[in-house]
Amino acid sequence: MKVFVTGATGFIGTAVVSELRQAGHNVVGLARSDEAAAKLVAAGAEAHRGSLQDDRSLAAGVQACDGVIHLAHDMGEGSLADSMDLDRKGIAALVKALAGSGKVLVGTTGIMLMTPGPISTEKDASDPASPAGFRVPSENDVLAAAEQDVRACVVRLAPSVHGEGDAKGFARIFTDLARRTGRSAYVGEGGNCWTAVHRSDAARLFRLAMERGEPGARYHGAAEVALPFREIAEAIGEALGLPVVSLSGREADNHFGWLRGFVATDNPTSNAITRDTLGWEPTGPGLLEDIRAGFYL
């Protein structure tokens, strides 16, 4: 297949491009700059100049390929609302170009879209009241494309997609916060569960979704499905040689700031349907292993 990838030069995107190339697919990556274009060519992909704001460039990328993996998420200089509006406009342009073609569209959202507490499955609808509920409209937009003869599906990624070279993910943010404050913290007893996936496993899942995904399906990109947040904080404290503390109330609010709602969320999930239907078997190291390996120092 020839696959059009947005966000192809990002932390996850570069792994997806490599995974697709190793599986024998041709890749066309969306490039906003000469630097990004050169990076794609060096990786054995074709560079397609454009952006999420350029409907014409997106349509041309779609028309030249057999399917699309949409990974790009541009925060830019605007607000979160501006970012999500841009994402939805990009999805709309991709869907318009794909409509009636029977081609594949693999979208990207997150497991943090699920209702906190219960073990979520791929069959569960996303929850607008969840910590990442602001991304629910984007997920719905992708899945609705299945009604327009697009083989559209969604990969919900774990909040921590980790590995060497991670410069912006939650593991990096928590490590930097611990270094800055002199302590690695969790909320309350820290028993609330997070999910995590190594970027190589995430990349493989996107490739499998492109090859085998069913219209309207949701897939869970989580290798570790119930990792107590306290253990994440302990691994960070161990790696940095810092004390590990429990915080609550205003102290937790002050320490974590905007992260507070994510840190305390209980987000256990299941990946059983993803494994069974796509044959996905995660093999990469776990999040705690990567932290202790020093990738976030």
Task: Decide if pLDDT at 76 tops 70.
Answer: no
Residue closest to 104 by CA, chosen among 59, 60, 151: 151
In one-letter notation, the amino acid at residue 270 is S
Contact 268, 226 (CB under 8 A): yes
Q: What is the mean pLDDT of the chain?
A: 95
CA angle at 118 for the pair 230 and 147, rounded to the nearest 5°:
120
Domains of the chain with bracketed CATH: 2-160+197-223 (3.40.50.720), 162-194+225-268+285-292 (no CATH)
Q: What does the pLDDT look like over 210-227, one tens digit per residue?
A: 999 999 999 999 999 999
Q: Which of 10, 63, 2 is nearest to 36 (CA)?
A: 10
pLDDT value of residue 74: 66
Distance between CA atoms of residues 41 and 24, nearest Å:
16
Interatomic CA distance for residues 37 and 294, integer angstroms: 31
Report pLDDT for 78.
Answer: 61
Residue 242, pLDDT > 90, answer yes
Q: Check whether 59 has a pLDDT greater than 80.
A: yes
At 92-128, the pLDDT tens digits run 999 999 999 999 999 999 999 999 999 999 999 999 9
Instruction: Give long-range contacts, CB 8 A cutoff, 24+ apart: 269-272.
Output: 269/111, 269/114, 269/119, 269/120, 269/121, 269/158, 269/195, 269/220, 269/222, 269/225, 269/226, 270/119, 270/120, 270/121, 270/122, 270/220, 270/225, 271/122, 271/220, 271/221, 271/222, 271/223, 271/225, 272/121
- At residue 79, does pLDDT exceed 90? no
Q: State the pLDDT at residue 81.
A: 78
The single-letter code of the amino acid at 243 is P
Share of the chain above pLDDT 90, in %: 94
Beta-bridged to residue 2, according to DSSP, are 26
Q: Once rounded to an integer, what is the mean pLDDT over residues 55-81? A: 86
Q: Specify whether the CB–CB gap between 287 and 171 falls below 8 A.
A: yes
> How far, CA to CA in Å, does 19 sit from each of 43, 213, 261?
11, 16, 33
Tens-place pLDDT, residues 14-29: 999 999 999 999 999 9
* DSSP one-letter code for 66: S
Give the three-state DSSP class for 79: coil
Least confident stretch, 71-85, 129-143, 150-164:
71-85
- The pLDDT value given to residue 135: 93
Kind of pairing between the strands at 46-49 and 224-228: unpaired
**Strands of the 46-49 sheet, one edge to the other:** 46-49, 26-31, 2-6, 67-70, 104-110, 151-157, 218-221
DSSP character string of 122-173: TTSPP-TTSTTGGGHHHHHHHHHGGGGT-EEEEEEE-SEEE-TT-SSSHHHH
Identify the band that residue 77 occupies on the pLDDT scale cut at 50, 70 and 90: low
